[in-house]
Amino acid sequence: MARVILGVGAGIAAYKACELLRLLKEAGHSVRVVPTRDALRFVGEPTWAALSGEPVTTDVWTGVAEVPHVRLGQGADLVLIAPATADIIARAAAGRSDDLLTATLLTARCPVVFAPAMHTEMWEHPATQDNVATLRRRGSVVVEPAVGRLTGKDSGPGRLPEPTELFALAQTLLAPGGQASGMGAVTPLPLAGRQVLISAGGTREELDPVRFLGNWSTGTQGYAFARSAVARGAAVTVVAANVALPDPAGAKVIRTVSARDMHAAMLAEAPHADAIVMTAAVADFRPAARADQKIKKDGRLPEPIALTENPDILADLSARRRAEGAQGQVIVGFAAETDPDLAAARAKLARKGCDILVVNQVGGGLGFGTADNEAIALAADGAVTPIPRRSKDALADFVWDLVATRLS
């Protein structure tokens, strides 16, 4: 059981922190809610106390004999601030200790996560961006806010990520080998300052207005890579094909449908990336022609459907890297296989031109739509690294370790 400090800022999104608190408690964690004084204008002290089963206060004088402004941070396994307002971010960056929450931040030597929520203009203001950069430099995780509806009719970047995704990020950081350091440490996170590009999901190739050729990929593994990269300090872009999951907290998501859509999006984003991970299940073929009307079942067998090859996204990413001389970029491919023979996988690694090919068996409770995965990582330098069965989040952590070694 982990000891979590849930800091709550004075924003309308404070009500969402109630759901985040419930998820943390149901996972078995001990949660102490530390709101700011004005946060209690949005959700009151009785609510936080009832949901957490812990006392709630905003000042350093209540229960002073227990020295809470020191002990809370010292004893925490994770500090998660949601919502993190522009005010909290500014006071944390300045090292203020004018209430219990900011004092706790100064004494914490555990992972510290800020989940910003504010209007777009406040998020984009140079002062806020400078403060965010300061916190990240010190080792905190400041996730990118979601894009969507804000207070009133406003919409844009500044929305609090969904509680389920913030909970998933917290679980990643609390897992053995969690990557974030405390605010008091200046050791950078493993992917701090890096930009990573991840593909996820399964492409669809239309036969007619109502049918398509597709596969069973749900995007779970790709989104696990995104969460892990955010926890390691990276700026994350996900190109997602037909994924119905909530956006990973802190990641930019670009929606696509077909292999050609994904090809265009990945090639457009690739020049900005230090590392690329292709987890998406991309259709090798598409119908040579799409019917404008639904193909009817009228008692006659339809004409055979002619297929044509889709572009090879992974091979084209490697070719672009060679052509542009981006030698520092690390490219990882995924190969879902039903044949345990690695000879074909080694040939695919050479053909695709990537640095690492993660070969994962599908079927038998593994692969598409499952919580677990196992794989073998084949490297262009000849290294073979088995990855025993584990959660998809843990597999993502394992592969990022391999990538970080190559980036450094």
Q: Which residues are catalytic?
A: 215
Distance between CA atoms of residues 198 and 314, nearest Å: 12
Cα dihedral sign, 85-88-92-95? positive
Distance between CA atoms of residues 136 and 188, nearest Å: 8
Distance between CA atoms of residues 307 and 278, nearest Å: 24
> Which residue type sits at 283?
A
For 196, residues 6+ apart whose C-beta sits below 8 A from its C-beta are 229, 234, 235, 236, 237, 273, 274, 275, 276, 277
State the Rg of the chain over Cα: 23
Distance between CA atoms of residues 12 and 41, nearest Å: 10
Cross-strand bridge partners of residue 385 = 377
How much of the chain is in helix, strand and coil states, percent to nearest 5? 35, 25, 40
Cβ atoms of 367 and 314 closer than 8 Å: no
Secondary structure (DSSP) of 371-384: SEEEEEEEETTS-E
Cross-strand bridge partners of residue 148 = 156
Cβ atoms of 6 and 33 closer than 8 Å: yes
